[in-house]
Amino acid sequence: MATFAIPRGEPLDPKEDCSPFDIGFVYSTISKASPAEKFRFINNVWKPSLNYSFPASAEAAGKLRKCRHEWLVRFTWLVYSKYLDGVFCLLCRCFGIQYGKNAARLQKLFRSPLTFWTTAVRRLQNHSSGKCETHSFSVVAMANFMDVMTRRTVAIDKQLNQITFRQIQQNREKMRSIIKTVVFCGQNAVALRGARDDNPDDETLQGNFHALLAFRVDSGDKTLQEHFENAPRNATYRSKTIQNEIINTVGSYITSKISAEIKESKLFSVLADEAADISNKQQLSLVLRFVDSSQQIREEFVGFYHCEYGTSGVALKEMILKAVADLGLPMANCRGQSYDGAGDMAGKYNGVSSLIQGQFSKAFYVHCMNHRLNLCVADTCSEYLVKDMMSVVRSLFSFFSGSPKRQQHLKEKVKSLLPASKHEVLINVCETRWIARLDGLDRIVELLLPVVCTIEDIAHNRKGGDEESDSGDWNQNSKAAAKKMLPSITFQFVVTLVIVRYVLDLTRPAL
């Protein structure tokens, strides 16, 4: 057949010159045909041979365009009508009217043939990309129909649920990468939003969560890539609301597993403490202690609870009882309580421990051992020699941290005197937690020599070179502070520092 320009809107060939299985004859009725007729047509639908020459038609700017054989090979669902010189989606034409919310909106390839060839490839790609719900359901419907007609089918109830089941599986695969990213952020203490989270499509405004999703796509996550490319903008499942829902769902899953293990062991104890968070809101942290099925004693954190009704003993008691009840655990199985010694927790009449034990007599109260140890260490550190030593350590930290120039001079001294040292600056000692004090004491012991040498250089206005006559440019305040600091670093200070560090080192948690 010669290639020539033809007008649009009318059948190209007479019916007698076309196959009875040309889709152009039945496209408007095939969806209503009986299963047997539909099966017969699908198996015998007319397809042009490789030497068939498609007719051309004038399109944009008068250029001749025509259908191409490679389209029929690439898109296996595509069928050509010689009668209408157009293509249809066989799957949607046979089954699309039954499925999909957007079936009524489809026109070309479904209700009428696609005959404009200039943009045909883009239209065909969009049709099968996953954005067309009708086509997605028709693919599944065709597979089920052929299974039934060739007797390769499964039970009827499974047939009815198969389309929905496959859709659920696809959605789960899409969510898997998103959920894993949220879990990764949680396990590694990475803020999901970070500094910015204004526009997931702008690399400079993505935030940590969106940046990690983009990294997964770049690393070859094809499922996630296809989801972001084809999903509607309001269904990408990466908004702040979805992030929070995933966090809450993962948290509920973890606590439900912990709850199931405690139910298996039956008995448990409650540990709790309240403190202000960074936004200055009082939060109660709750931990449950139990013996698991392998006879191991475990303490599992189950959540933070905002003390919205205050921190009185009554309010905290009600919060603990509600939290335990929400986990599905009966407080009658509680055999112990452990809190700090504050009045609202351990008070004889209105403390949490007394109120709970008055209601559940077997929930005995034990003063938290860590808090007791902290009190003992704090009391020991009230000895005047220790207090003086701690005061000097804090003064040394303040002396260097308050001046970048002094800090830099200390770093140079460390490199000169202790080239193998991994640390170059001092850190402060914590006022309240003895474990945190250890890090500060460890650092001052490690860097004591360069610290003393640096202070001497500043006090005597030296640059710190090999020649003691080198004149430095230290100001009067620095020289005066250094001269005042030097007499504090005595033999008594060093002995006390070493002994206290050794004693506190015994309180480190065993690794």
**Sign for the pseudo-dihedral over CA of 194, 199, 200, 206:** negative
Return all residues near 296 (Cβ < 8 A) that are at least 6 apart: none
- Of residues 469 and 278, more confidence is placed in 278
Give the Cα separation of 311 and 308 in Å (integer): 8
pLDDT score at 277: 80
User: Which long-range contacts does 237-246 make (Cβ < 8 Å, 24+ apart)?
Assistant: 237/174, 237/175, 237/178, 238/178, 238/200, 238/209, 238/210, 238/213, 240/193, 240/197, 242/178, 243/182, 243/192, 243/209, 246/178, 246/179, 246/182
pLDDT band per the 50, 70, 90 thresholds, residue 255: very high
Mean pLDDT calculated for residue range 366-377: 84
- Of residues 107 and 384, more confidence is placed in 384
Nearest to 378 by CA among 330, 426, 336, 433: 433
Reported as type and span, the H/E element at residue 344 is helix 343-346
Give the Cα separation of 262 and 292 in Å (integer): 7
Mean pLDDT calculated for residue range 145-169: 72
Q: What number of helices (H) and strands (E) belong to the chain? A: 20, 9
Burial-class residue 107 by CB neighbours within 10 Å (0-12, 13-18, 19+).
Answer: exposed
pLDDT at 217 over 70: yes
Give the Cα separation of 458 and 409 in Å (integer): 9
Q: Which residues pair with 87 in a beta bridge?
A: 80, 114
pLDDT score at 201: 59
Q: Which residues pair with 274 in a beta bridge?
A: 284
258-317 confidence digits (pLDDT tens): 999 999 999 999 999 988 888 888 899 999 999 999 999 999 999 999 988 888 989 999
Give the Cα separation of 19 and 83 in Å (integer): 9
pLDDT score at 370: 81
pLDDT score at 205: 64
pLDDT at 177 over 80: yes
Give the Cα separation of 468 and 461 in Å (integer): 10
pLDDT band per the 50, 70, 90 thresholds, residue 197: low
Give the Cα separation of 233 and 262 in Å (integer): 43
Model pTM score: 0.56
The answer to whether 311 and 279 are in contact (CB under 8 A) is no
pLDDT band per the 50, 70, 90 thresholds, residue 349: confident
Homologous superfamily of the 262-367 domain (CATH): ATPase, nucleotide binding domain (3.30.420.40)
Give the Cα separation of 110 and 114 in Å (integer): 9
Domain(s) labelled CATH 3.30.420.40 in the chain stretch across: 262-367
pLDDT at 441 over 50: yes
The answer to whether 238 and 178 are in contact (CB under 8 A) is yes
Mean pLDDT calculated for residue range 85-113: 77
- Mean pLDDT over the full length of the chain: 85
52-65 confidence digits (pLDDT tens): 999 998 888 888 99
pLDDT score at 204: 63
Phi, psi of 313 (to 5 degrees): -60, -40
